[in-house]
């Protein structure tokens, strides 16, 4: 159940509520600390520009909330490690918005690779053609690498994640990191 929608642009938050949850009693605020202080809220979804992911995730974990954070994870390795360190020793769930893993043709490809349908892959190449425009995000973070990281972060991360998933490297690495 959604309890609250946070956006520094309150008009936008109200539009989202009106569109998706018109008849629900959902709190609207521009201050995410209010959500973190609400003991009724167990989990948060972070869908802000990437430069805000680290601080918002760390604040949410500190407040004991499970976190679903949109891709890309964060902008630097240090920020990524800070979040992994904050997760250590907690029972909190953290998930990144790598939704390509749920797209049926990618699921099929992962299963075929797992079954050895093409033998042992030795090299992989990933290509994306995508339409974008200056107005494709509200904040314009996709045009400012200090806010979004640039094209490699914005769309390349989906490809890197898929390749890591197909070749089964990522989860082992994360588990090892959390165990040590
Ligand atoms: N998984 C996917 O396929 C997918 C698709 C689209 C976007 N995304 C990711 O989702 C994230 C957001 O993308 P978008 O296109 O919705 O961006 P956007 O710029 O359109 O929207 C970001 C929202 O965050 C709000 N915001 C900014 N600072 C805030 C703050 N301090 N507190 C509260 N709200 C704040 C803005 O007002 C805006 O409404 C990005 O990380 C993006 O890469 C993922």
Q: pLDDT tens digits, residue range 138-148?
A: 999 999 999 99
Size (the chain), residues: 180
Instruction: Flag whether pLDDT at 120 surpasses 60.
Output: yes
What are the extents of the domains in the chain? Answer: 4-96, 99-179
pLDDT band at 19 (very low <50, low <70, confident <90, very high): very high
User: What pTM, to 2 d.p., does this model score?
Assistant: 0.92
Residue from 4, 33, 47 to probe ligand 1 pocket by mutation (most atoms less than 8 Å from CB): 47
Q: ∠ CA 39-98-156 to the nearest 5 degrees?
A: 135
Dihedral angle at the C-alpha atoms of 1, 63, 137, 97, nearest 10 degrees? Answer: -70
Closest CA to ligand 1's atom 34: 7
Q: Measured from the CB, is residue 50 less than 6 Å from ligand 1?
A: yes
**CA–centroid distance, residue 49 to ligand 1 (Å):** 5
| Mean pLDDT of the region 32-50 | 98
The whole-number pLDDT of residue 113 equals: 93
Structure tokens at 117: 């349908």
| Residue 51, pLDDT score | 98
Ligand 1 close to Cβ of residue 144 (< 6 A): no
The dotted CATH code for 4-96 is: 3.40.50.720
The tens digit of pLDDT for each residue in 70-98 reads: 999 999 999 999 999 999 999 999 999 99
Maximum C-alpha span of the chain: 54
Strands (E), 94-173: 94-96
Whole-number mean pLDDT of the chain? 92
pLDDT above 80: residue 173:
no
Q: Is 150 close to ligand 1, i.e. is its CB under 6 Å away?
A: no
Return the SS3 of 2: coil
- Ligand 1, closest atom to CA 98? 1
What is the Å distance from ligand 1's center to 148 Cα? 10
- Joined tokens for residue 85: 């360190």
Q: Is the pLDDT of residue 125 over 60?
A: yes
Tokens representing 91 are 């029972």
Q: How many C-beta atoms lie closer than 10 Å to residue 98's C-beta?
A: 19
């Amino acid at each position: 159940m959604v309890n609250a929608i946070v956006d520094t642009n309150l008009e936008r938050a109200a539009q989202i509520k009106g569109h998706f949850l018109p008849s629900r009693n959902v709190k609207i605020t521009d201050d995410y600390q209010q959500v973190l202080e609400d003991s009724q809220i167990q989990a948060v979804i972070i869908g802000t520009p990437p430069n805000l992911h680290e601080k918002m995730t760390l604040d949410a974990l500190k407040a004991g909330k499970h976190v679903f954070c949109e891709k890309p994870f964060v902008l630097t390795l240090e920020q990524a490690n800070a979040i992994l360190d904050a997760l250590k020793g907690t029972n909190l769930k953290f998930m990144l918005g790598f939704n390509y893993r749920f797209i049926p043709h990618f699921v099929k490809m992962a299963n075929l690779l797992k079954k050895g349908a093409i033998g042992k892959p030795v090299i992989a190449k990933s290509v994306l053609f995508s339409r974008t425009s200056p107005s494709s995000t509200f904040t314009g973070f996709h045009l400012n690498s200090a806010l979004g990281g640039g094209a490699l972060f914005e769309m390349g991360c989906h490809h890197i994640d898929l390749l890591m998933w197909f070749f089964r490297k990522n989860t082992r690495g994360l588990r090892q990191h959390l165990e040590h």
